[in-house]
Structure 1
Amino acid sequence: MLDSIRRQQRRYRAWMRQGEPTLGRYLAQVGVLGWMIVVPALLGVFVGRWIDRSLGTGIFWTGPLMLLGLAAGCWTAWQWMHDR
């Protein structure tokens, strides 16, 4: 609970110092979140395709690794948003 209060005080002080975020800043945050989710998913697809081509397994590894990358990207984005 103390961490939550400290985080709230830190955010309030930053808001007092910087003011209300601009529209450009909000759009930049949305862009960063998109890349944080998409890049790990694409990496999972590329690695999965490479493994599938090497082993001749169709899409056996591509699907699970894409989902794993998507989950990792969503978790990273969630953590990034809660640190802000």
Structure 2
Amino acid sequence: MQQNSDYLIWAEVMTKEYQRLCNDVQLDRKTVIDSYGATNPAEFFAVATETFFEKPHQLQNQHPALYQLLQRYYQLAPVQWD
């Protein structure tokens, strides 16, 4: 992350996506991101990263802002690896 605006975007996207996962888990909805990520924000980052590498197409389709954020962070595009 290069600028303050990057941190603001990071916080906004990660908070929104973490809350979305927590809601999905609470309502027993199936999600591409492992439900263990609803444990806390650190675990959310870990399982979101796993999903980014293991199921990039699904993550990009279902959580495009999160996929884009992780793509910028890791400077990798796993959807292009097929």
Q: TM-score, normalised by structure 2?
A: 0.37
Query: Which structure has the greater CA radius of gyration?
Result: 1
Q: TM-score, normalised by structure 1?
A: 0.37
* Higher normalized helix content (fraction of residues): 1
